[in-house]
A and B are shown apart, each in its own frame.
Chain A
Amino acid sequence: MNEIYTRNVPGMTEVLSKASVGIAGCGGLGSNAAVSLVRAGVKDLVIADFDVVEKSNLNRQYYFLKDIGKKKVEVLSDRLKEINSECKIKVFDKKLERSDISGVFGDVDILIEAFDKAESKQWLIEEWSSKFPSRPIVSGNGIGGLGKNEKLSVKKIGSLYFCGDGESSEEEGLCSAKVSIVANMQASLVIELLMDK
């Protein structure tokens, strides 16, 4: 076993090394969740985002000054391989459309919804649920503003899971600590679901 994982919870490394996780959107939720999943032992990820790193992303997303102007998926893929060089990262660097979902994420066990706009979250959840009704999708919902940790929760409706406070939006502004908590709630839930499979 790779020495990276010697401090893992017993049993998780074996399960996670065989799992495949999709991440739709590599911003504050997606980039932080991806890093946690790889640190936990996930080696097979499909990451999708059309955007490039901007300076204003650095208050919450897992990118550095040297990354500005580069494609998020490419930077994130390299960063994940710097944590574990055995990772296999598939990247999709165009804007995702409904018709892309089966082709891009068809082979993953679980999808993390990490889009920015509510409209995009809606069509992705609808599309995923109609194509793969029994496969879990873990959505980030309510990450804006400050604090209120006590309001953060996981809401489960069948194979749909919502992490966040369910009521705040990005219009309130975004704080790295809160965004990272929710990203890690998503990652933690994905790990738990994979272990329970």
Chain B
Amino acid sequence: MSKITVNDNVVEWNDGLTITELLKIMKYTFPMLIVKVNGELIRKDQYGTYLVPENSDVKVVHLMSGG
């Protein structure tokens, strides 16, 4: 099985996996996120088109309001 890590959890990887699909798999339904793949920040407008490479290290941070 091909894998990636998402916030240090091992997750199954499929060819053509987008950030949008990955967020669904992870049940990350929060509207405001920061996503980094192998150190590169993926902008919100790229979530549907950016393809997550095999063996990637993905970090997702939920942004909370308040400042």
Contact = CB atoms under 8 A, between A and B. Distances in A.
A158 to B, nearest CB: 5
B39 A116 contact: no
Contact of A28 (B34, B43, B67): B67
Nearest to A129: B41
6 contacts: A28-B66, A114-B67, A122-B34, A122-B63, A133-B41, A141-B63
Interface in B39-67: 39, 41, 43-44, 59, 61-67
Contact of B66 (A119, A125, A169): A169
B44 A157 contact: no
Given A118-B32, A125-B41, A160-B36, A166 B67 contact: no
A133 B41 CA distance: 9
Nearest to B32: A118
Given A160-B34, A162-B61, A170 B41 contact: no
Given A126-B44, A130-B41, A130-B43, A155 B67 contact: no
Task: State the main secondary structure of chain A at its contact with B.
Answer: mixed
Contacts of A114: 67
Given A158-B39, A160-B36, A121 B59 contact: no
A122 B67 contact: no
Contacts, number: 85
Interface residues of A, number: 39
B6 interface: no
Given A141-B61, A157-B61, A160-B36, A126 B43 contact: yes
B41 to A, nearest CB: 4
Given A125-B41, A126-B41, A119 B32 contact: yes
Interface in B17-53: 31-34, 36, 39, 41, 43-44
Contact of A140 (B31, B34, B41, B67): B67
Contacts of B67: 25, 27-30, 113-117, 121, 140, 143, 170
